[in-house]
Amino acid sequence: MTLSHPKANRSPGTPDPAFGDEDSIAYLSKLLDDDPAFQVLALFMGLSSDLQGKTIFSAYVHHEEQYKYVIGRTDSDGTLDRTFANNGILLGSFNSGAACSGGKLVVQQSEPGLIYMQGWTEGPSGWADLAITCVDKHGQPNPSFGNNGSVVIATPVYEELLTNSCTLQIQPDGKLLVTANYLLRHNELQLTTGVVFRLLSNGEPDTGFNGNGRWELKIPDPHAATAINGCLSQGGNVVIAGHVRTQPAHNVATLVRLKHNGEVDRDFADSSGFHFVDLPDHGSLFNTVIERADHSLIAAGEAFTRGAPHQLGLLVALTPNGSPHLMFNQGKPLLTQFDAERENHWSCALVQPDNKIVVAAAFWWPLLARFNVDGSLDTTFNSTGYTPADFTIKSAPVQLVSRQDGRIIVSANITGVNPEGIGVMKCFLS
């Protein structure tokens, strides 16, 4: 495929010249430059926006010989907002002295504008435990949440937390949804289980959700692995996106809806509560699910064939009750590949006010693409419908957020001086 580039440098899908350096990039290392105790390791792990339209980020850093998390806030030009927390950043750990990392972020979009971040912390056994922290809109720990602003959920014995797969969302009633995936240790089948936790606003488990505040994604096959990679609150219900893997290894992208009490909602999809995307020639999985203004759902992920050289992007649209949305790609899953020589899959997505869909790639190419309501590529976006990456992504995650002014911020960890990558943010016009 031959790339074409817009003549104008201020058209949708092109870099914002007012952001970051001359390449419209803000480097995490430069945001942390004021403190010489920060070491080379500095990776972006979460991205969101607050009530002021500023960008909130989380990071995994090495500081004074310890692995810690950072929560920070930037202004519209990509520079650190020095009014937030301690001169722009909150540096912390969930358990004093224990290695930890920041993770996905979500910000309450109404007062008081609380900021929640999930991450992991080293537990007493040396294995990673799921952790969540809450700070106020000024970057100060929220003492009414958990233990001095943090909650730690111990990893079950004989299981391992997959630290880069966790997500979180805030429900309209202020309760918190947290998803995680656990691997059964010492198991040749690599069995994983996707889990949803629901916490009360004070951080305690919500026993009104499945009796104990915890729900596991299971299917009748006892040898099937499951994973949950995204969730959202649809009114009082919970929609979960991920996959199930049957044996021999065959992944099937999966959406399931739960009632407010944690029961599977059998009014969703084909009266089972589950919607499976079992493609004839491909395995598939969902990495995220988002909701449009009409409450229809967009799930984004990837499709792949064992032995095939490249993965494909996957987009699926469903009506609010889980039926294929006939106005999007005629109700069929949309498989995307922009270059026959390069892989493509979608790690995250957002809906713009005009209901156009912006998706970002995880490691592959292109970096961004925008689709119209009907699933066609929006060629007003960078004149091609997509924006190629001008860097090589080294490690997960890639994150995507839309500011109040419509601009799109992407964070990624790209090839650099550290073997795990260096954290960057880039801003695009919309």
In angstroms, the CA 283 to CA 345 distance is 13
Q: Which of 107, 99, 75 is nearest to 88 (CA)?
A: 75
Cβ atoms 226, 168 nearer than 8 A: no
* Torsions phi, psi for 364 (to 5 deg): -95, -135
Q: Residue holding tokens 């996959």?
A: 243
pLDDT at residue 36 in the model? 74
pLDDT at residue 4 in the model? 38
Q: How many C-beta atoms lie closer than 10 Å to residue 149's C-beta? A: 19
Q: How many independent structural domains does the chain possess?
A: 1
First CA to last CA across the chain, in angstroms? 24
Tell me if 361 is assigned to some domain. Answer: no
Return per-residue pLDDT of the chain as tens, 430 residues: 233 334 445 799 999 999 999 889 999 999 998 777 777 688 999 999 999 999 999 999 999 889 999 999 999 999 999 999 999 999 999 998 899 999 999 999 999 999 999 999 999 989 999 999 999 999 999 999 999 999 999 999 999 999 999 999 999 999 999 999 999 998 777 799 999 999 999 999 999 999 999 999 999 888 899 999 999 999 889 999 999 998 677 899 999 999 999 999 999 998 899 999 999 888 999 999 999 999 999 999 999 886 666 789 999 999 999 999 999 999 999 999 988 778 888 999 999 999 999 999 977 678 899 999 999 999 999 999 999 888 888 889 999 999 999 999 999 999 888 888 899 999 999 9
pLDDT at residue 76 in the model? 95
Tell me if 40 is assigned to some domain. Answer: yes
> Would residue 329 be called left, alpha or beta, if left means φ above 0 and alpha means ψ between -120 and 50 degrees?
left
In angstroms, the CA 371 to CA 369 distance is 7
pLDDT at residue 351 in the model? 98
pLDDT at residue 3 in the model? 35
Strands (E), 108-189: 115-122, 128-135, 150-153, 159-161, 167-170, 176-184
Q: Residue holding tokens 């430069």?
A: 30
In angstroms, the CA 54 to CA 19 distance is 13
In angstroms, the CA 75 to CA 402 distance is 14
Handedness of CA 55, 58, 62, 66 (dihedral sign): positive
pLDDT at residue 389 in the model? 82
Collect all residues with Cβ–Cβ distance below 8 Å to 165 and sequence separation of at least 6: 179, 180, 181, 227, 229
Tell me if 98 is assigned to some domain. Answer: yes
pLDDT at residue 281 in the model? 84
Helix, strand, coil proportions of the chain in percent (round to 5)?
A: 0, 45, 50
Q: Which two tokens stand for residue 8?
A: 């104008």
> Residue 55 in 3-state DSSP?
strand
Tell me if 202 is assigned to some domain. Answer: no
In angstroms, the CA 275 to CA 324 distance is 9
Tell me if 73 is assigned to some domain. Answer: yes
In angstroms, the CA 247 to CA 254 distance is 16
Tell me if 72 is assigned to some domain. Answer: yes
Q: Which two tokens stand for residue 77?
A: 């030009």
Structural domain that includes position 141 = 24-155
Cβ atoms 254, 275 nearer than 8 A: yes
Tell me if 191 is assigned to some domain. Answer: no
> Residue 31 in 3-state DSSP?
helix
pLDDT at residue 187 in the model? 79
Q: How many C-beta atoms lie closer than 10 Å to residue 169's C-beta? A: 19
In angstroms, the CA 171 to CA 173 distance is 5
Tell me if 94 is assigned to some domain. Answer: yes
Handedness of CA 203, 204, 208, 210 (dihedral sign): positive
pLDDT at residue 43 in the model? 94
